[in-house]
Structure 1
Amino acid sequence: MAVYGFGKDIPLPNADIYQVTEQLKEASFLQITSLATGGNFTAPTIFSLGLAPWMAGMIFWQLLTLTKMGGIDQMPKEKSDRWRNLLILLIAVIEGYGTTYMLRDYFSEFTQFQVFQTCLLIVAGAFFLIWLASVNTVYGLGGPSLVILFGMVSSYRVPVAQITRMILVEDLWGRIVLAILVGVIVLGLIALALIFERSEYRLPVNRIMNTADMQKSAYIPLKLNAGGSLAFMFSLTVLLLPQIIFQYLADSYPQNNVFWWLENNSTTTSFFGVTLYNVILFALAVLFAQVMLDVTDLAENLRKNGDYFTNIRPGKETKKYLKQKQNATAFIGATFTVIVAGLPLYLGVIWPEYAAVVLMPGLTIILVGIITSIILQIRAINTLSSYEKLL
């Protein structure tokens, strides 16, 4: 975390950092994206992209795996990792070049060498951060999520400062009422996020090796919000990639009104962009819920072990039953995520000065999800080390 915190403040060369920082203050969409990816779009630094290329690459790779195109799901792990990393590299180059192109007006000389140098540093910084997150996955707690948590906590000061200013402009009683209202809303969001994070839908299962007493507590759990916090983080990343492409196309073809409209309306600062974001958010929440549990493998394992659901035949009928239940819980979780983390962004379009404040529900979901996973990791480690030695 010390290395990451230090790297976030190392500026890129060739550009006027003060002018760029002023420009980036107006790019609210980029700053919102950086909150959920561990990046830094408040200033041009080597960690500006954060984990965005890795997150987008994982999404696209997961989609390719689900389609089983070209036998991709049967690839050896080494070969699969190599192709996945190449996809992440391609995305990093696109996003790195897009970021460099966005800053072109603030270069001392916008030469091809400077573009190449800056893009190379941004891509290298992103891959170094990906490596750092992978090291934390092996030796630390929280995996890549800890990088995002670090960036989010440090960025929370913006919405907190805006809310504080809203309270201070009121009279004494107005301040008291607003402070209580904000406290109730924040605590309510935390409680709601925690409930959905820990809730699960249990499917009673008959296990032939269980005794009658044990049979009563045998079930298959389906998390109610399996992909909520992940969907919020990854959806912003997915929306960033087309935004960079639209920006490049609009600058390359200035007479094309379609590219210009897409560039200005595909972010969370417009109604169309927020609607597009909510569609992506819902789809990713459903996707992550299905990725978390492979019903095909589960149905096959139940059949092999002789376990079954009451009045459901093993095999295809069991798979169909599990798929129906999985889709139902995924729909509930995705709907909750969109209502809490997606719909408030429409208020940010109406009142742009409060764009950071309306992000707090979504950020709360991420924080609760990450902190809960770290707590569960710590509990698992404590459980493993709590057994006494036999000798």
Structure 2
Amino acid sequence: MISAFANTWKVPELRARIVFTLAIIIFIRLGVHITLPGVDASVIKEWMDNFRGNDPKSTGGVTAMLQVFSGGGLTHAGVFALGIMPYISASIMVQLMTAVVPKLSRLAREDGGREKITQYTRYITIGIALVQGYFVAKTLSSTGKIMYMPGIENIGRPLVPDPSVQWYCLTILTIVAGTMFLMWLGDQITDKGVGNGTSIIITVNIIAGLPGALIGAWNYFVQPENPFMAFVMVGLIILMLLVIAGTIAITEAQRRIAVQYAKRIVGRKQFGGQTQYLPLKVNYAGVMPVIFASAILSIIPTTLGLIPKLSDEPWVMSLIHQMNGGTAFYVLGGVGIFLFSYFWVAMMFQPSQISEDLKRNGGYIPGVRPGKPTADFLDFTMSRLTFAGALFLAILFALPVITGKVVGLPAGSPILNFFGGTSLLIMVGVILDMMRQIETHLLQKHYDGFLRKGKLKGRYDRAGNNLHADIASKNSLVLLWTVIAILVVAGITIYFYNQSHH
């Protein structure tokens, strides 16, 4: 495996893709820390120093998911405050409409239809970002109602000194522009980088919280007056390794359906007569059900909490409390994961189409008649596999609650995000996808993959089909890294200038 990582730099195209992806990731993280215009950044800094710090007992549920998708952009009041959440919400809406609206369903199957649907998704993203941007601006101007910044009202200074109409307009436009720019960066990673851009953005935002989680875990578990707590931390690390191994095993697990092809003679050559396998993945939907369920759960309470006339209602406050690490969040999340798992499989897995393709090419499943019986068999088999995959996702989603009860931490603690749950599942799934794509490049250039025997199960379709797609030129990469260097130097200069004047 170590030699495979070394070989990645020997393939010029792959090296350019990796360098380009790293540069875009730096841009994403810089945008999180650029404060919105008109917001007093000193108030945020003082709140972080006095109230949040590295507290391992922060709120969870929806608040934790907002931090995951925004990468801390909300707590920093940055230009990427909404993160990629509006685009994910728009994608969910379009997927649902495609399943129930016949016109969109036909459009998805036509040539160029997917491009049209992607365009509609982006338009809906702008609408969602406008609404959520207004709610974020309204919350920033009402300091006492920021659920993701508890205690900031105790600073004694307003977060927004002058919340005028002009400030509202400028803030909303900045937030929408930041979201659209982030979506564009994700598309650039998908086209010219390594992996799926949207998934990488979410993963980078998750990993950004790793240093704080490690510091919090050290401060919480390593206590001189109670040495036994250090063994609890060792047990959590072992649990994390076991969960990662189980996640990889379920993600890569397949049910191989034997397919026999009849013998055919075309000219002087004989085709068919051999047995091949149709791989059906246990976790066919991957991390999408978890992302979809989390996005849906975060929309409702967040929207209700930001509406002025409803935010003080007792039932709204109770709902927000339940969604921030309460039982309702994990019960509804588990149900949502099951529903979205079957929904995603129904959208992407077409047993009738597979049956027709097998019949057209002279293939059949031994013991099953071609045509509708084959489609029914594949549908029944995939339904059972989906149940197992959805059950695993639901258990992993609820694992922080169980672990937190044992070690005395709330389910939304940032420490637990890396010992199970949604964050760990997303990271493992995205890293496996990136490794598949990198391995495809290596194998096509006659290098060994990450595994000495065989290769990673599955294939990254985009890498295989667009192996020689457009990549960033050397001049573009040099310009990109030059801009990053200028921004980093400017940021360091501003930081030391502010420190010298305090």
Q: TM bucket by the smaller chain?
A: 0.7 to 0.9
Matches within 5 A, 1:220-231: 220-231=278-289
Counterparts of 2:66 and 2:293, CA distance in 1: 9
**What is the SS of the residue equivalent to 2:367?**
coil
Matches within 5 A, 1:259-278: 259-265=316-322, 267-278=323-334
The residue aligned with 1:368 is: 428
Q: Describe the shift of the 1:304–1:245 C-alpha distance in structure 2 as closer, same or farther (beyond 3 A).
A: same
Task: Tell me, yes or no, if structure 1 residue 118 matches structure 2 residue 118.
Answer: no
Q: Deviations over 1:319-368 (max 9, x none)?
A: 22211111111111111011112343366698438622332212222221
Judge conservation of contact 1:197–1:224 (CA < 8 Å) in 2: yes
The Cα of 1:128 is off from its aligned counterpart by 0.3
1:356 to 407, 414, 427: 414
Counterparts of 1:275 and 1:335, CA distance in 2: 13
The residue aligned with 1:252 is: 309
The residue aligned with 2:193 is: 140
| Higher mean C-alpha displacement, 137-146 vs 267-276 | 267-276
Judge conservation of contact 1:271–1:346 (CA < 8 Å) in 2: no
The residue aligned with 1:164 is: 218
Matches within 5 A, 1:1-391: 1-20=25-44, 22=47, 25=52, 28=60, 29-36=62-69, 38=71, 40-74=73-107, 76-105=113-142, 106-144=159-197, 145-169=199-223, 174=228, 177-209=231-263, 214-215=274-275, 218-249=276-307, 251-253=308-310, 256-265=313-322, 267-345=323-401, 351-352=409-410, 355-360=413-418, 361-362=420-421, 363-386=423-446
The Cα of 1:208 is off from its aligned counterpart by 2.2
Counterparts of 1:130 and 1:98, CA distance in 2: 20
Q: Which amino acid aligns with 2:83?
A: G
Q: Deviations over 1:248-300 (max 9, x none)?
A: 34x224675444433443x2322222322222233223333444433232222
Q: Describe the shift of the 1:383–1:191 C-alpha distance in structure 2 as closer, same or farther (beyond 3 A).
A: same
Q: Describe the shift of the 1:294–1:310 C-alpha distance in structure 2 as closer, same or farther (beyond 3 A).
A: same
Q: Deviations over 1:85-135 (max 9, x none)?
A: 222222222222222222122322333332222111111101101000101
Judge conservation of contact 2:70–2:81 (CA < 8 Å) in 1: no
Counterparts of 1:99 and 1:313, CA distance in 2: 58
Q: Which amino acid aligns with 1:187?
A: L
Q: Which amino acid aligns with 1:194?
A: I
Judge conservation of contact 1:162–1:357 (CA < 8 Å) in 2: yes
**What is the SS of the residue equivalent to 1:352?**
coil
Counterparts of 1:171 and 1:187, CA distance in 2: 28
| Higher mean C-alpha displacement, 353-362 vs 96-105 | 353-362
**What is the SS of the residue equivalent to 1:205?**
strand
Counterparts of 1:136 and 1:102, CA distance in 2: 32
| RMSD of Structure 2 on Structure 1 (CA) | 2.8
Counterparts of 1:220 and 1:227, CA distance in 2: 17
Greater RCO (CA < 8 Å, at least 6 residues apart): 2
Q: Which amino acid aligns with 1:237?
A: A
Counterparts of 2:125 and 2:210, CA distance in 1: 28
Counterparts of 1:65 and 1:374, CA distance in 2: 28
Q: Describe the shift of the 1:211–1:293 C-alpha distance in structure 2 as closer, same or farther (beyond 3 A).
A: same
Q: Which amino acid aligns with 1:368?
A: V
Q: Which amino acid aligns with 1:261?
A: S
Q: Describe the shift of the 1:208–1:112 C-alpha distance in structure 2 as closer, same or farther (beyond 3 A).
A: farther
The Cα of 1:186 is off from its aligned counterpart by 1.6
| Higher mean C-alpha displacement, 183-192 vs 297-306 | 297-306
Q: Describe the shift of the 1:169–1:286 C-alpha distance in structure 2 as closer, same or farther (beyond 3 A).
A: farther
Counterparts of 2:31 and 2:217, CA distance in 1: 29
Judge conservation of contact 1:254–1:260 (CA < 8 Å) in 2: yes
Q: Give the helix-richer structure, 1 or 2.
A: 1
Counterparts of 1:182 and 1:172, CA distance in 2: 17
Judge conservation of contact 1:133–1:143 (CA < 8 Å) in 2: yes
Counterparts of 1:273 and 1:172, CA distance in 2: 33
**What is the SS of the residue equivalent to 1:311?**
coil
Counterparts of 1:259 and 1:311, CA distance in 2: 57
Counterparts of 1:263 and 1:172, CA distance in 2: 35
Q: Which runs of 5+ in 1 are unaligned?
A: none
Q: Which amino acid aligns with 2:179?
A: A
Judge conservation of contact 1:227–1:289 (CA < 8 Å) in 2: yes
Counterparts of 1:286 and 1:374, CA distance in 2: 25
Q: Which amino acid aligns with 2:371?
A: G
Q: Which amino acid aligns with 1:321?
A: F
Judge conservation of contact 1:31–1:40 (CA < 8 Å) in 2: no
| Higher mean C-alpha displacement, 331-340 vs 67-76 | 67-76
Q: Which amino acid aligns with 2:395?
A: I
Q: Describe the shift of the 1:158–1:32 C-alpha distance in structure 2 as closer, same or farther (beyond 3 A).
A: farther
Q: Which runs of 5+ in 2 are unaligned?
A: 1-24, 53-57, 143-158, 264-270, 448-502
The Cα of 1:172 is off from its aligned counterpart by 8.5
Counterparts of 1:190 and 1:222, CA distance in 2: 22
Q: Deviations over 1:156-176 (max 9, x none)?
A: 123322322233115686366
Counterparts of 1:54 and 1:254, CA distance in 2: 25
The residue aligned with 2:463 is: none
Percent of aligned positions that are identical: 22
Counterparts of 2:39 and 2:185, CA distance in 1: 26
Counterparts of 1:37 and 1:290, CA distance in 2: 30
**What is the SS of the residue equivalent to 1:344?**
helix
The Cα of 1:11 is off from its aligned counterpart by 0.4
